[in-house]
Every structure is written in structure tokens, then in C-alpha cells.
Amino acid sequence: MGLVAISLAVRWLLGWVLCLRLSRLPEHRLQGQPRVSVLIPARNEERTLPNLLPALRGQSFQPLEVIVIDDLSSDRTAAIAAAAGVTVMQPPPLPEGWCGKPWALHNGARASQGDLLVFLDADTEPSPAFLERLVATQQALGGLVSVQPFHRTEKPYEQLSVLFNLVGLMAVPMGQGCGVAFGPAMVTSRADYERIGGHGAVAGKVVEDWFMGHLYEKAGLPVSAFIGDGLIAYRMYPGGLHDMVVGFAKNFATAAGEVRCPWMLAVLLWLSGLFWAAWCLPASLLGWPLVGDPSLLPNLVLYGAFALQLLVLTRRVGGFGWICLVFPIPVLFFLGVFVLAILNLERGTIEWKGRRFKT
């Protein structure tokens, strides 16, 4: 076996190692009857709230209150939330230096009454046992506990997000005390939340969850993160391909710098193997420039190995299937959004939901 083949085999094996740490939200017994406030920031979420709010009514553990913070929506967000029987509030106008989501949750937390605060994105879809399991885990572990939902897909363009979902989990440690926080579903005690300064301490952060996790760590509080396979899902960008491109570029531009160097290096090595495989098969078929053996069989084996790996690894991450078999397509999409994210960093700003923020 040549050096090129050995190098690619190491990169392929690294993909399996990186995904060994994907820990599912553990099972703990709920202690007592905790007073829980569920806070949902919502800006133009008329498509998603009809999934989330009925799911909250069907929870095995019922919270003290559910508050939807309507962030100046121009659609029927407020009406849908009110019809569902939850509390609806509008925050004051967005102050200078604040991003929309931190401002909404800051005001929601101030208006809430619970001793435990659960922050849920409007596009999440929890299973009936999710809230009980989330709260019980926070009682057992303390600090900040978060869950990355399973990415539910419906339309073909949503399959293009496969690498963003997978790489986003590969690039960070997971499990108890990992120091990483995922914004779609988080829980904390009010006391700990106020101790770190709440959302006021991350007022200007587009990806406030990452920076909030850092603040908990600095305060000596544990930060734990898990995957939501079978417990909570979301459909990230039902509004179309443009929303998905802008959304991932926003996250890429603002969060990439927060990834720790060892994890970044490992992910880059795996990605380099994936990109190599994406090039080698068409190159061997079409006679394009190619480093290594240009014959078809070894490049077909390499391609098949990475396609199989993607099929297996993404089963717990999202609803991705056929796109893994033609992975050069999402590779090109990934690279295109990466370039857009670099441009956003150069400009220093990003537009999201009608507002412009600093990256």
C-alpha cells in the first residue's frame, strides 16, 4: 500500500473516531416538581410554531409556563401563539449593540417565573418525553445543558446541508462537561443564568450559545451537550435554499473561530480525505489531473468507502440518505458557503431575518 493510500485510510478512520463522541441525552429521574419556564424566541415563525406548541402540550412533564417572545414579526406568529394558549410578549425595540435572539430571551427571562429556564428555538419539535428528560439531566449534571436536534429534511435542497450538520458535531467535544452549548435547546437554573450575566453578557453575539457556554465555564459551572436523536428534531430552513445558504454562512463566519485547534485539525484532515475522494472518481473517469493511481478500481473503492461512511455517520444526525451517495455535490455546496462566509468576515457584517449584525 502506497503512502497516498495509507494517508487516505487514516483520514477515513479519523471520521469514525470523531463521531464516537456523539452522546445522546442521558436518562435521569426527575427530582420533585421543578418550576420550569419555557422561553421561545420567535421572529416570523408562523410555519414552525404549529409544530412546536402542540408538541409542548403533549409533554409528559408540563412546565409552569410557556412564553413566546414575538420579536417584531410581520406574519401571524403572535396570533398563532395566542391561539395555542401560551403567553405571548413583545420585547421593547432592539437597542444598539444587541442581536435579536439574545434581546428576546433577555426579556423573556425577566418576565418568567420559573426556577429553571428552558430556551427552545421556534423550529424545534420535541418528542413527548423530551422536556422531562432535559430537565432531569440538568438536575443531575447542573450548569448549562443543551441538545443539538436531529435535522429533519423534506425537500431535496435541504439534503445539501449534510456536511454542515456532520462537521458541526465532529468539530466539538460532546457529552458531560464538554464545554459546548447548542442554542436550539438549552436549560439552566435561573440562579446560574443570573450569575453569568444572562443574555445581557452575550448581547451582541450572533451565535450566542457558544459564548454563553464559555461564560458558564469561566464561572466554574459545568457545560454539557448531547445529540437529540429520537428526542428532538428540527427542520432548519423550510423557507428555501437562499435562507439555508445565508444561515449556514452566518454560523460558519461567526462560530468557526471558536472551534478548538485540535478538533479543527482533525476535522480538516477528515475533510481533506472526503474532498480527495470526491475528486478522484470523476477525475479517473474523465482523465482529469490526479495525484496517485489514476486507474478506476482503487478510486471507486475510495469513493464507496467515504459514501458508506457518510450514510452510517449521518443516521443519528439528520434525515440524509441519497445525497451521501453523490457526496461531491454537497462538497461543492460546502465549499461555496465557506467562500461566502469568508466574504462575510471580510465585510464584517451579516444580514439575517431583515437585520444586519457584526460577524
| Alpha helices (H) along the chain | 3-18, 49-57, 77-83, 100-111, 130-141, 162-170, 190-195, 208-218, 241-255, 261-286, 296-313, 328-347
Of residues 222 and 290, the one with the higher pLDDT is 222
pTM for this model (two decimals)? 0.92
Instruction: Determine the pLDDT at residue 256.
Output: 59
Q: What is the pLDDT of residue 349?
A: 67
Q: What is the pLDDT of residues 264-276, one digit of tens each?
A: 899 999 999 999 9
Q: Return the ∠ at Cα 265 (arms to 261 and 266), rounded to 5°.
A: 120
DSSP string of 83-139, one letter each residue: HTT-EEE-PPPPPTT--HHHHHHHHHHHH---SEEEEE-TTEEE-TTHHHHHHHHHH
Compute the C-alpha angle 108/112/118, nearest 5°: 75
Residue 21's pLDDT band (cuts 50, 70, 90): confident
User: What would the pLDDT profile of 64-97 be if each residue is shown by its tens digit?
Assistant: 999 999 999 999 999 999 999 999 999 999 999 9
**What does the buried/exposed string (b/e) look like for 243-282 if buried means 16 or more CB atoms within 10 Å of the residue's CB?**
ebbbbbbbbbbbbeeebeeebeebbebbbebbbbbbbbbe
Tell me the average pLDDT across 98-122. Answer: 97
Average pLDDT over residues 17-21: 92
**340 has pLDDT over 90:** no
Here the cell at position 22 is 456523539
Mean pLDDT (whole number) for 175-201: 97
Local confidence band at 259 (pLDDT 50, 70, 90 cut-offs): low
Radius of gyration of the chain (CA): 21
Over range 230-245, report the average pLDDT: 90
What pLDDT does residue 277 have?
94
247 confidence band (pLDDT: 50, 70, 90): confident
CA 228 to CA 256: how far, in whole Å? 22
- DSSP-derived pairing of the beta strands 124-126 and 150-151: unpaired
Place 284 in a pLDDT band, splitting at 50, 70 and 90.
confident
Crossing angle, helix 261-286 and helix 3-18, to 10 degrees? 130
Q: What mean pLDDT, rounded, does the chain reach?
A: 92
Q: Helices 162-170 & 328-347, crossing angle to 10 degrees?
A: 70
Residue 253's pLDDT band, with cuts at 50, 70 and 90, is low
Position of cell 433577555? 106
- The pLDDT value recorded for residue 355 is 64
Handedness of CA 58, 62, 64, 67 (dihedral sign): negative
Is the per-residue pLDDT at 1 higher than 60? no
User: Which whole number is the average pLDDT over 151-176?
Assistant: 93
User: Above pLDDT 90, what percent of the chain?
Assistant: 75
Torsional sign, CA 325, 326, 328, 330: negative
Q: Where are the alpha helices (DSSP H) in 122-223?
A: 130-141, 162-170, 190-195, 208-218
C-alpha cell at 84: 395555542
In the structure, what pLDDT confidence band is assigned to residue 255 with cuts at 50, 70 and 90? low
Report residue 231: phi and psi, to 5°.
-120, -40
- pLDDT on residue 200: 97
Domains, the chain, with CATH or none:
3-19+258-358 (no CATH), 36-238 (3.90.550.10)
pLDDT band of 294, cuts 50, 70, 90: confident
Average pLDDT on 237-248 reads 85
Which pLDDT score, from 0 to 100, does residue 287 have?
Answer: 80
Confidence of residue 4 (pLDDT cuts 50, 70, 90): confident
Tell me the mean pLDDT in the region 308-324.
96
Answer whether residue 345 shows pLDDT above 80.
no
